[in-house]
Structure 1
Amino acid sequence: MKLGAQYFQLHRESMRSPLLSHVLLGSLVSGLAAAATGSSSVSLATATCNPLKTTGCPADTALAGAISEDFKSASEHFSVYSTPDQIFYSDEGLQLTLAKRFDNPALRSNFYIMFGKVEVLLKAANGTGIISSFYLQSDDLDEIDLEWFGGDGYEVQTNYFSKGNTATYDRGGYHNMDDPRAAFHNYTIDWTAEALTWYVDGKAIRTLTNDSSQGYPQSPMYLMMGIWAGGDSTNSQGTIEWAGGSTNYDDAPFSMYIKKVVAVDYSNGSEYRYEDTSGQWTSIEAVDGQVNGRIDLAEEEFDVLVAGGTLYSEDSDSQTGSSSNDGATSSHYVHESSTKAGNSSDNPTATASGSHDSVSTSKRSITSDKAGNQSSTTLETLASSSATASGNSSSQSVSSTNGSESNHSFSSLNVFVSLVSAILFGLALI
């Protein structure tokens, strides 16, 4: 672990107190941003009712589906968390800029997932002491983190927390990679009841199993993304060292960029509620649904969306950014490739196929918590298998240039299949 990281985490925990009103970027950076900025923004993390300490907390809005966001404009799925005047949208995606001291631009999702998979196509910011962050956070302070150091051109940090516990400070992992500030890279978090795996460009770099002695994140989480100055002079010396040194604001502006976020929820229902104060995933109620009620479908959706495809509901014949809470309805998705993401040099692991039947849904294996040389099923492999299957099942592939005709063909085919299924079901009853 880097020098100063334990001091950073201790300081962060001490600043989580709900008595503080100057807190930014959720609990991952709450105390540090407050100390560094003096901002008057109030942390949603500390303002949120902690269901482990208070009964009657409001339920969390469930994604219960899948989204893909390119941030070419303000997103209905994310809200501005802080510093709105330094959040920019364009055809190139999202830009979060620290233009001057006290800037901490950040976004927070309007939904929660209860286990799921999230991928971000991100380029980290330059600048000594500048931290780019992307992470998941729960109301009871579970966390799953990715962080980049503006002064380091060779690594990414993974981290996790359980119920806000910072009794020990050796959870962080540091992973070598090509310069995360020089180009966009794919970062993926696959979070299940059994294990949590981080990927960089389709390769597993770390896996944490649910029997960790330091706890395991297992409660509904929202997404956060933002940039902040860990190297500000008002931070503790340990924090500044952890961030890589003191920030020189004469070098500003500092910007991180996000081209795409894909998120799928492994559970369904309208919202997630804590039934007791244990914080165990088995105590979470998926209202009108089921925890882990849509894993297979979610994996298919994820593969289509990271490949540049889109999801359409056959029932409504309209594009869906978030699946229906009804698993039966969700199963009628038609997958259409609208963007040949595999041809983009910015996305090293994107696949090109959007065909429902051409996407592999194989599970990744669960291993111990070791920085991995192991590599599970990568998106490059998916691209290969996708291309092969697409060639063998061209009658079922969907053309992005002939969308209406393809949708009609799929609709007719599905109607026929449904009729045959109904007949066979009737015969079985007889």
Structure 2
Amino acid sequence: MLFGNTILSSSILGLLTTARAASDVPSATTNYYSGNIYGYEKEETQSASQSASATSLASCNPLETTSCSPDPALASTIEDNFKSSSSHYTPYRFPSRITYGDDGVNFTLAERLDNPSLVSNDYIMFGRLEVQMKSAKGKGVISSFYLQSDDLDEIDLEWFGGDGSQVQSNFFSKGNTTTYDRGEYHSISDPRADFHNYTIDWTSSELKWYFDGELLRTLKNDSSSGYPQSPMRIYFGIWAGGDYDNGEGVIEWAGGLTDYSEAPFVMQVQNLVVSDYSTGSEYKYSGDSGDWTSIEAVDGKVMGRESKAINEFNEMVSGDSASSINSSSDSSETQKSTTSVISTDSVQHSSASRTSSIAAEDATSSADSSTITESVSSSTEITDNSTTLSTIYSEHSSENESGSTTVASSKASADQGEIVRPLYSCVAAITALIFAMI
């Protein structure tokens, strides 16, 4: 959202979304973002390879030109504890402000215009991510974790250093910021005081955000505001939204002016698991729609390893897990925002513990699917072998509108039929024996 001039010119306008009240949202025609406000004048020297990597997103939009290079695919599941630098991520800004240790990676905003951040080397085409982190304190200081594609699709999580009560989820489609209704605020326990787990589950049909295993928000792929659906890289870092050179709207969104005399401000990431749902070596755009069906997975398949990825993900995050996602959360589509407080009584967490975010949910879905399939198979077999049971099946089918209820009723009727028939045979045999004795 904040790294690179082209990115600033589009997605960062979305920082004004749902800005406390609709009346507080500035005019979209107002220019709040002129100048180098995120440290570009002060940017530290990087290697040629790092600079090329860092500018690739901003320099080539595949919906505007056919000369863009394909995106390198992750096509696997990775985990990093950041006790040392990772081969999966590259410093994007201010590498000297990024340090590693037993508590993970620290991003330090030590003075004005600091903007330390990391970016992933590979892309995912749908997938699951879980970051264990502690956001920074400080008025106007923003801790960010987000995914962004070359054509400016985006999935965001933002934390406010001056507000220990909420996190903002957000999304963008093709850099479109013509409306300001995408962001939502979610009440949570203080993200600055302890490490918490934040999970993003992104598929072709829906996008979900979780906090410590509890569902915060669900976005379906039928939103009038668009839907993120192109290959994305991962970005995370810290910046001062409250810098006095920023526009009034950004400063207000960030929670007020940043007081640099209170620096340093530190964001910490202790663990990150990323699982790509697709296979292949590269992801390529075709056409100019940016729709997921137009993305080619070279030597692979989009969504071609979802089941495997889920298993790998769950194995990684369940090693020292303290909790799991409530399977009832998704069935009720409960979404907690600024008006509802998330209960974490059932979620035990500490700086050393991690959440198994989706294992229970996946197991429940798999079991339900297996049960339905098994019931259909059993009912069909019994119906084929018995005229009586076929009649029972028809009667029950007409009484039930739901397919699953029909299957359950017919199987129950079939089981009753199998019990009743031997009883009739037994009674008939006894009756015949009695008449013979007489």
Q: Distance in 1 between matches of 2:103 and 2:117?
A: 18
User: Could you tell me whether the CA contact under 8 Å between 2:148 and 2:234 is conserved in 1?
Assistant: yes
Task: Give the equivalent residue in structure 2 for 1:379.
Answer: 356
Confirm or deny that 1:68 pairs with 2:79. yes
Secondary structure of the equivalent of 1:296?
helix
Task: Give the equivalent residue in structure 2 for 1:271.
Answer: 282
User: Could you tell me whether the CA contact under 8 Å between 1:9 and 1:169 is conserved in 2?
Assistant: no
Q: 1:7 to 1:302 in 2, by over 3 A?
A: farther
Q: Distance in 2 between matches of 1:197 and 1:300?
A: 18
Q: Distance in 1 between matches of 2:33 and 2:65?
A: 20
Task: Give the equivalent residue in structure 2 for 1:250.
Answer: 261
Of 39, 43, 67, the match for 2:42: 39
Task: Give the equivalent residue in structure 1 for 2:90.
Answer: 79
Task: Give the equivalent residue in structure 2 for 1:401.
Answer: none
Task: Give the equivalent residue in structure 2 for 1:111.
Answer: 122
1:165-212 deviation digits (Å, cap 9, x = unpaired): 000011110000000000000000000000000000001010000000
User: Could you tell me whether the CA contact under 8 Å between 1:3 and 1:238 is conserved in 2?
Assistant: no
Task: Give the equivalent residue in structure 2 for 1:345.
Answer: none
User: Could you tell me whether the CA contact under 8 Å between 2:73 and 2:122 is conserved in 1?
Assistant: yes
Q: Quote the offset at 1:276 in angstroms.
A: 1.1
Q: 1:285 to 1:381 in 2, by over 3 A?
A: closer
Q: Quote the offset at 1:51 in angstroms.
A: 0.5
Secondary structure of the equivalent of 1:305?
helix
User: Could you tell me whether the CA contact under 8 Å between 1:207 and 1:367 is conserved in 2?
Assistant: no
TM, length-normalised to structure 2: 0.68
Q: Distance in 2 between matches of 1:118 and 1:198?
A: 10
Q: Distance in 1 between matches of 2:128 and 2:269?
A: 17
Secondary structure of the equivalent of 1:158?
strand
Q: 1:301 to 1:76 in 2, by over 3 A?
A: same
1:212-250 deviation digits (Å, cap 9, x = unpaired): 000000000000001000011000111111100111111
Q: Quote the offset at 1:39 in angstroms.
A: 3.1
The one-letter code matched in structure 1 to 2:42 is S
Secondary structure of the equivalent of 1:163?
coil
The one-letter code matched in structure 2 to 1:164 is G
Gaps of 5+ in 1: 23-31, 309-340, 343-347, 352-359, 387-430
Of 149, 172, 194, the match for 1:183: 194
Q: Quote the offset at 1:379 in angstroms.
A: 3.3
Q: Quote the offset at 1:94 in angstroms.
A: 0.6
User: Could you tell me whether the CA contact under 8 Å between 1:208 and 1:369 is conserved in 2?
Assistant: no
The one-letter code matched in structure 2 to 1:33 is Y
The one-letter code matched in structure 1 to 2:241 is G
Q: Distance in 1 between matches of 2:330 and 2:19?
A: 29
Confirm or deny that 1:202 pairs with 2:202. no
1:319-372 deviation digits (Å, cap 9, x = unpaired): xxxxxxxxxxxxxxxxxxxxxx23xxxxx5479xxxxxxxx9x99958879547
Q: Quote the offset at 1:40 in angstroms.
A: 4.0
Of 310, 331, 346, the match for 1:299: 310
Q: Distance in 2 between matches of 1:194 and 1:218?
A: 9
Q: 1:208 to 1:251 in 2, by over 3 A?
A: same
The one-letter code matched in structure 1 to 2:356 is L
Confirm or deny that 1:153 pairs with 2:164. yes
Q: Quote the offset at 1:142 in angstroms.
A: 0.3
Q: 1:97 to 1:381 in 2, by over 3 A?
A: closer
Q: Distance in 1 between matches of 2:93 and 2:323?
A: 31
User: Could you tell me whether the CA contact under 8 Å between 1:207 and 1:371 is conserved in 2?
Assistant: no
Q: Distance in 2 between matches of 1:120 and 1:72?
A: 15
Q: Distance in 2 between matches of 1:13 and 1:295?
A: 41
Confirm or deny that 1:2 pairs with 2:19. yes
TM, length-normalised to structure 1: 0.69
Secondary structure of the equivalent of 1:240?
helix
User: Could you tell me whether the CA contact under 8 Å between 2:187 and 2:336 is conserved in 1?
Assistant: no
Q: Distance in 2 between matches of 1:293 and 1:209?
A: 20
Write out aligned runs for 1:160-171 (5 A): 160-171=171-182
Q: Quote the offset at 1:101 in angstroms.
A: 0.8
Confirm or deny that 1:262 pairs with 2:273. yes
The one-letter code matched in structure 2 to 1:379 is S
Q: 1:8 to 1:81 in 2, by over 3 A?
A: farther
Task: From the CA coordinates, give the structure whose radius of gyration is larger.
Answer: 2
The one-letter code matched in structure 1 to 2:88 is H
Q: CA RMSD in A?
A: 3.2
Q: 1:196 to 1:287 in 2, by over 3 A?
A: same
User: Could you tell me whether the CA contact under 8 Å between 2:201 and 2:209 is conserved in 1?
Assistant: yes
Q: Quote the offset at 1:2 in angstroms.
A: 2.8
User: Could you tell me whether the CA contact under 8 Å between 2:136 and 2:142 is conserved in 1?
Assistant: yes
Q: Distance in 2 between matches of 1:142 and 1:12?
A: 22
Q: 1:13 to 1:288 in 2, by over 3 A?
A: farther
Confirm or deny that 1:91 pairs with 2:102. yes
Q: 1:158 to 1:295 in 2, by over 3 A?
A: same
Q: 1:214 to 1:67 in 2, by over 3 A?
A: same
Q: Distance in 2 between matches of 1:243 and 1:91?
A: 30
Q: Quote the offset at 1:102 in angstroms.
A: 1.4
User: Could you tell me whether the CA contact under 8 Å between 1:121 and 1:184 is conserved in 2?
Assistant: yes
The one-letter code matched in structure 2 to 1:38 is E
The one-letter code matched in structure 1 to 2:74 is L
The one-letter code matched in structure 2 to 1:80 is P
Count residues in correspondence.
Answer: 323
